[in-house]
Amino acid sequence: MFCRSWKYWHAPMNHAKALAVTTAYDMYLECSEGKLNNDWKVTPVNFHRFREKLGMQMMRYDPRHRLYFGDERFRVCTQQNKSQRRRTSPCRASSSSSESVQSTSSGVDGETLSSITASSTRLCGFLDNLIKHSESIKRYPGHNQRVCVVCGKQTAKHCSKCDKAMHLNPPDGSDTNASCFMLWHDTGFFGLARDDCRIVQKRQRDWSFPSQEQRTLNTKEMKQVHKEAASRENNSAINADNGTPSSSNNNE
């Protein structure tokens, strides 16, 4: 790296850059051997070709993409206003730098999310799966109707993702404003729907729509069941990673 300059700090800076490129090439050779990851195994290029490609990559790179820590310190980034910095910040998890700007492409950052979460009850978690089920709602062709799996009354709508008939409105005569669609997809309601009688081994003729107290109690119990099931899965995964046989195998 030769670059003539009258500035007193230019020579040591060039030396530092040369050391960085040399170290980067050594890391590249180590990765290309495939010992760290077999998918990385390639025929390595020589040092001069590596330096050329590295130089072209950095010449084309825009710090506003903020793919590397420290990019937010470049002048081209500090000149941006707050909204622009949000839009150009990547949606990726940070490691340890709390100073790096992180936000969505729409301009929502962690500070905004925290303030909304603390002052509003709007956000109820990620509902991606529920949205997919909602978008799959269709009407039976013609005047065909089926028995709703939740309340047991006739309906012309069904969730094509579940392939089950259900209302998009609350059950008639019930003390809830939640629709049959919402109740059917609620984990806390599992076991209380009319169609769940075959699962809990009850006769449908004896079934009636659950009261508010029954729904609240079932939700509480389902959370406990869900917690225990998740705990068992985690223990099984840990035992598998450690090579420890499960309890069933020990009994055998």
Q: Which amino acid is at 121?
A: T
- Percentage above 90 pLDDT, the chain: 42
CA 218 to chain centre: 28
Instruction: Give the model's pLDDT for residue 106.
Output: 65
Instruction: Give the model's pLDDT for residue 96.
Output: 43
Q: Residue count of the chain, please give it.
A: 252
Instruction: Give the model's pLDDT for residue 100.
Output: 46
What tokens were used for 36? 């760290």
Phi, psi of 109, rounded to the nearest 5 degrees: -110, 180
Q: Where are the alpha helices (DSSP H) in the chain?
A: 10-32, 47-60, 75-78, 82-87, 110-119, 128-135, 180-184, 197-200, 212-242, 247-251
Q: How confident is the model at residue 3 (pLDDT cuts 50, 70, 90)?
A: low
Say if residues 85 and 101 touch (Cβ distance below 8 Å).
Answer: yes
Tell me, yes or no, if the pTM score tops 0.85: no
Say if residues 136 and 161 touch (Cβ distance below 8 Å).
Answer: yes
pLDDT averaged over the chain? 83
